[in-house]
Amino acid sequence: MKKFIRNNGLSICFLLLFFGALIGQIIFGFEEHNKELIEEGSTAITLSSYLISGHFIQSTFENWESEFLQMALFVVLTIFLMQRGSSESKDLDKEEEFDREPSPTRKDAPWPVKKGGWILKIYKHSLTITLFLLFILSFCVHFYGSLKDENEQLALKGMPLESASDYIGDSRFWFESFQNWQSEFLSVFAIVVLSVYLRQIGSSQSKPVDAPNMETGE
């Protein structure tokens, strides 16, 4: 068990942080939503009803959507673009280890590498494919949750409900998306640029403390 925790400590830590933050979101989102319902003259709902409400689905998946979009674009754009001196960029002036073609003879190579053919072609881009698929899935669930929440609010006011075809062009839905996207792009910009000049000893996301500012990559 100690070896498992040591070998997977980073993922375990972030998974626990995720569940802790999700529980916090549920608790306070549940209270906030019920407060809004009471202010609108309706009655409070149960926790189980809240977990399938538009309010919870929309607020959860609009954030997941932006995270997966950010990671997918970062993975793709770092293939072609560079930032001189950044630990988050590869050096386009020299051959990098991750640019070489996979060898099926390499010790402990993953099975798709040994299999070759179309399986290897997909595997070579599997990270990007998966991240974009997760983005698309989150985008669709966010749209569903946002539409559901919009119609729940309209029903409380006794107004006509929105159809999916009408809501896809609604300013509220795109505001929810863009307010999250811009923050993700800003955070990537910050780590890319700040890692040129700033250091964190012991972190794999930082260059060595004594590395020159213009030394690119980790």
Which percentage of the chain shows pLDDT scores above 90? 70
Q: Radius of gyration (Cα) for the chain, nearest Å?
A: 22
Confidence (pLDDT) at 185: 95
Confidence (pLDDT) at 123: 93
pLDDT average, residue stretch 82-97: 84
Helix, strand or coil for residue 189? Answer: helix
pLDDT bin (cut points 50, 70, 90) of residue 36 is very high
Main-chain dihedrals φ then ψ at residue 204, nearest 5 degrees: -75, -10
Confidence (pLDDT) at 100: 80
b/e burial code for range 163-172 (CB count within 10 A of at least 16 → b) = eeeebeeeee
For residue 89, how many other CB atoms are within 10 A of its CB? 19
pLDDT bin (cut points 50, 70, 90) of residue 94 is confident
pLDDT tens digit string along 147-190? 999 999 999 888 999 999 999 999 999 999 999 999 999 999 99
Check whether 105 has a pLDDT greater than 90: no
